[in-house]
Amino acid sequence: MTRETGSAQTSRATRLASLANETFDVLVLGGGIGAACAAWDASLRGLKVALVERLDFGAGTSAHSFKVLHGGIRYLQHLDLPRLRESCHERGSFLRIAPHLMQQLPVAVPTFGYGIQSRWVLASAFAVLELLTFDRNRGLSDRARTIPAPYLLSRSELLQRFPGLPREGLTGAGVFYDGQIRNPPRAVLAIVQAAMDAGAVAANYCEADRLIVRNGAVCGAEVRDVLGNERFAVRAAVTVNAAGPYALDFLRRSEQSVRANVPFSRDMAIVIPRQLDPELAVAVQTRYADPDAVLSRGNRHLFMAPWRNRYTLIGVNSRVYTGSPYELKVTEPEVAEFVAEINEAYPGLQLKLEDVAAVNAGLLPFGENAQGAKDLSFGKRSVVIDHAQSDGLQGLVTGMSIRWTMGRLLGRHVTDLAEGKVRGGVSASRTDRTPVRGGDIVSLAAVEKDLRAAAPQLSTTQVSRIASNYGADWNAVVGPQQSERQVIVGSDYLISELQHAVHHEYAATLTDVVLRRLDLGSGERPSEATLAACADLVASELGWSATRRASELQRVRASYPFAGPESQYPVSVADP
Ligand SMILES: Cc1cc2nc3c(=O)[nH]c(=O)nc-3n(C[C@H](O)[C@H](O)[C@H](O)COP(=O)(O)OP(=O)(O)OC[C@H]3O[C@@H](n4cnc5c(N)ncnc54)[C@H](O)[C@@H]3O)c2cc1C
């Protein structure tokens, strides 16, 4: 079932013409989780919405997170109960609206001795958590997506699963559940597509160059089509600047003096090609304290989570960042320092710098920290600014999401403000109960069953991946004549998945295809044979020259090991 017909270029041309010729209620800048949710929320409320993203949908910070849907347990230590409840609600919302793209993630927290880190203290914390999150599974019909109660694990059970953990004083572990985002860029795409289904006009590779301001009011933005190098104005009653960590830079570029000054942290998570446990994540203590913890059970934790059946994600390492968001880089010494921190926390891993297959990094709104502080205070709330209130500038709202998990709520808040300005009143948000594109399913197991019946020749891994990536829309990539031989060299990805990405999912570069639509490379760099096969296929689908094919390949290779936001990309990706 494909909704957009005709070639990608034609549909893009139509969308760009709409952006240039129509007048919108709301123009959303950015295509990360915050922007996608804002555009979707506003469209569902019947507002006429445009969205422009300078790179690919979800290519910014949102693609590079640690992939955890936070359920709020961390905020128990801070005694921040509203934040705990909020986080729990947001985890539930994503499990409900995007059930194919989210799953449970059990996390083991080791216990020690008889004091604050003991089993009984953790068991008591779990009992409080149970009470505070009693309604966490409301509206979740797929039992596999519900969040079970936390439980305790014995010392021997824990060591069987993680034999390398430090053993001194170890008494076992408590296991609580978060959610895991199985494919963050596809999740963002599914929300953008849901917004488009609800009437929004969205385009990737369209950069907002500057705001258009008349008589103290923002009435849209000047936009550049990065693929075609055309410039045009997008007119809107309200502009929602949801460009994440780039948002304030963009305002400065528009020569708007705004009061807000948001400090940023550079967060990093690495991927190693080793599996510690197939299902269970583990938390290990670092040497750094959490200055905001009211009930501290020791130092801050590092988390190690299973990824794609073969890898482990390890995060998060943070440091104060004061440079330009467009110049973010992670250096080898920074990764080496993080590897040393990991080895100190989990000596059994004996990790080496060469083991690091990929580095995910991005910028986040931060807490207030003195220069050089080691025990860092993290940001606590998303940033929402109504510039009419703060700067006397009408028609402009800025939003930056503190967590991927909080992106939907941020979208709701900025839409409330935008709708208030357009209509003078606020209607109810429906994004916590409306399925995203592909999310209208009874259960993932039911989708897998249908897929197996339609294409019995597909392997279990192919079935599970296709069900998860496309949900209800699986038949967009698997036809009745599907052959197991129609795969991309060196992988089990179907050629039809790549063709669908290019013609119906707005993939315009090889990086879009390899890193985001097919997720061939979120664990490590795909083999040269696979990359070359993908490049040949995309080149033939989009009519690329040999020079363009070579430069696209080079861009994918350059993403490793640092797979951070592609902010350093040359501004144009057009065929030379
Ligand atoms: C290492 C790391 C680990 C993390 N782990 C987690 C986690 O486990 N769980 C969790 O909930 N959160 C996590 N986060 C936080 C989460 O990823 C972010 O809070 C969230 O993705 C921010 O979303 P956003 O939409 O505000 O920003 P982004 O995703 O950065 O989106 C902003 C978009 O705006 C675009 N843009 C910029 N300038 C322009 C312009 N001029 N015109 C048009 N578009 C523009 C950018 O290209 C970008 O795509 C983590 C973050 C990092 C860095």
Domain extent listing, the chain: 31-59+185-259+381-423, 68-181+264-365, 444-568
Report which residue type is found at 451: L
The crossing angle, in degrees rounded to 10, of helices 81-97 and 407-423 is 90
Cα 458 → chain centroid: 28
State the distance from the centre of ligand 1 to the C-alpha of 244, rounded, in angstroms.
Answer: 6
Distance in angstroms (rounded) separating the CA atoms of residues 205 and 570: 12
Question: Residue 377 has which token pair?
Answer: 């205070």
Q: Does residue 166 have a cis bond before it (omega within 30 degrees)? A: no
CB 126 within 8 A of CB 150: yes
pLDDT for residue 569 = 41
Terminal Cα-to-Cα distance of the chain (whole angstroms) = 34
pLDDT value at residue 9? 52
Q: How far is the CA of 56 from the centre of ligand 1 (A)?
A: 12
Taking a C-beta distance cutoff of 8 angstroms, is the pair 78, 293 a contact?
yes
Report the alpha-carbon distance of residue 69 to residue 409 in Å, rounded: 13
| Cβ–ligand 1 contact at 403 (below 6 Å) | yes
Could you tell me the two tokens for 307? 């990824």
How high is the pLDDT of residue 329?
Answer: 85
* pTM, two decimal places: 0.94
Domain topology for 68-181+264-365: D-Amino Acid Oxidase; Chain A, domain 2 (3.30.9)
- 182 CB contacts (<8 Å, ≥6 apart)? 67, 100, 101, 102, 103, 468
Going by their DSSP bridges, the two strands 23-29 and 231-241 should be labelled as parallel
Name the token pair of 229: 């190098």
Query: Distance, CA 222 to ligand 1 centroid (Å)?
Result: 22
Q: Whose CA is nearest to atom 31 of ligand 1?
A: 32
Q: What's the token pair of residue 457?
A: 């020749």
- Contacts of residue 424, defined as CB under 8 A and 6 or more positions apart, other chains included, come to none
3-state secondary structure (DSSP) of residue 284: strand
Query: Given the CA of residue 268, which atom of ligand 1 is nearest to it?
Result: 1
185: DSSP letter? H
Query: E strands, 156-200, where?
Result: 170-181
Instruction: Output the CA 204–ligand 1 centroid distance in Å.
Output: 15
Residue 409, classified by CB atoms within 10 Å of its CB into exposed (0-12), middle (13-18) or buried (19+), is: buried
The Å distance, Cα 92 to ligand 1 centre, comes to 20
Ligand 1: does its nearest atom lie under 6 Å from the Cβ of 55? yes
Report whether 468 contacts 101 (CB < 8 A). Answer: yes
Does the C-beta of 68 come closer than 6 Å to ligand 1?
yes
> What is the DSSP secondary structure assignment for residue 392, as one 8-state letter?
S
List beta partners, residue 283: 303
Pick from 191, 177, 200: nearest CA to 97 = 191
Residues 6+ apart with CB under 8 A from 114: none
Of 514, 505, 498, 503, nearest in space to 554 by CA? 514
Ligand 1 test: best mutation among 28, 29, 66, 313, most atoms within 8 Å of CB? Answer: 66
Determine if ligand 1 sits within 6 Å of the CB of residue 66: yes
Ligand 1 center to residue 401 CA distance, Å?
7
For the CA of 401, the nearest atom of ligand 1: 26
Residue with tokens 């989708």: 447
Please give the structure tokens belonging to residue 494: 């179907």
β-pair partners for 220: 235
Ligand 1 contact via 243 beta carbon (within 6 Å): yes
Q: Which residue type occupies 487?
A: V
Distance CA(475)–CA(463), nearest Å, equals: 12
Q: 31-59+185-259+381-423 falls under which CATH superfamily?
A: FAD/NAD(P)-binding domain (3.50.50.60)
| Residue 342, SS3 per DSSP | helix
Assess whether the C-beta atom of 511 lies below 6 angstroms from ligand 1: no
- The alpha carbon of 163 and the centre of ligand 1 are apart by a number of angstroms equal to 35
Measured CA distances, 394 to 210, 235, 256 (Å):
16, 14, 12
Per-residue pLDDT of the chain (576 residues; tens, 9 = 90+): 334 444 555 599 999 999 999 999 999 999 999 999 999 999 999 999 999 999 999 999 999 999 999 999 988 888 889 999 999 999 999 999 999 999 999 999 999 999 889 999 999 999 999 999 999 999 887 888 899 999 999 999 999 999 999 899 999 999 999 999 999 999 999 999 999 999 999 999 999 999 999 999 999 999 999 998 899 999 999 999 999 999 999 998 887 778 888 889 999 999 999 999 999 999 998 876 656 655 555 677 899 999 999 999 999 998 889 888 888 888 889 999 999 999 999 999 999 999 999 999 999 987 665 666 665 566 668 889 999 999 999 999 999 999 999 999 999 999 999 999 999 999 999 999 999 999 999 999 999 999 999 999 999 999 999 999 999 999 999 976 666 569 999 999 999 999 999 999 999 999 999 999 998 998 989 999 999 999 999 999 999 999 999 999 999 998 887 765 554 443 344 433
**Distances from the Cα of 192 to the Cα of 23, 477, 525, angstroms:** 20, 19, 27
Main-chain phi, psi angles of 81, to 5 degrees: -70, -35
Strands (E), 36-95: 49-52, 68-69
492 half-sphere exposure, CB direction, 13 A CA radius = 11
Residues 6+ apart with CB under 8 A from 214: none
* One-character DSSP codes across 486-549: -B-TTS--BHHHHHHHHHHS---SHHIIIIIIS-SSSSSPPPHHHHHHHHHHHHHHHT--HHHH
Q: Dig out the tokens for 529 from the structure.
A: 């044979």
551 CA from centroid of ligand 1 (Å): 26
- Cβ of 250 less than 6 Å from ligand 1: yes
The reply to whether ligand 1 has any atom less than 6 angstroms from the CB of 244 is: yes
The number of CA neighbours under 13 Å toward the Cβ of 136 is: 27
3-state secondary structure of 197: helix
Residues 6+ apart with CB under 8 A from 351: 272, 339, 342, 343
Q: Which two tokens stand for residue 65?
A: 């997170």
State if residue 413 touches ligand 1 by the CB under 6 angstroms criterion: no
Question: Cβ distance 139 to 95 under 8 Å?
Answer: no
Token pair for 292: 């905001």
Encoding tokens for residue 172? 């076992």
Q: What is the pLDDT of residue 260?
A: 80
Our CA dihedral for 559, 560, 565, 567, rounded to 10 degrees, sits at: -50
Q: Is the CB of 224 under 6 A from ligand 1?
A: no
Please state, in angstroms and rounded to a whole number, the distance separating the CA atoms of residues 51 and 35.
8
Q: Retrieve residue 448's tokens.
A: 């897998």
Residue closest via CA to ligand 1's atom 3 equals: 65
Ligand 1 pocket residue status of 360, Cβ below 6 Å: yes
Q: Strands 23-29 and 49-52: what pairing? A: parallel
Residue 267: how many CB atoms within 10 A of its CB? 22
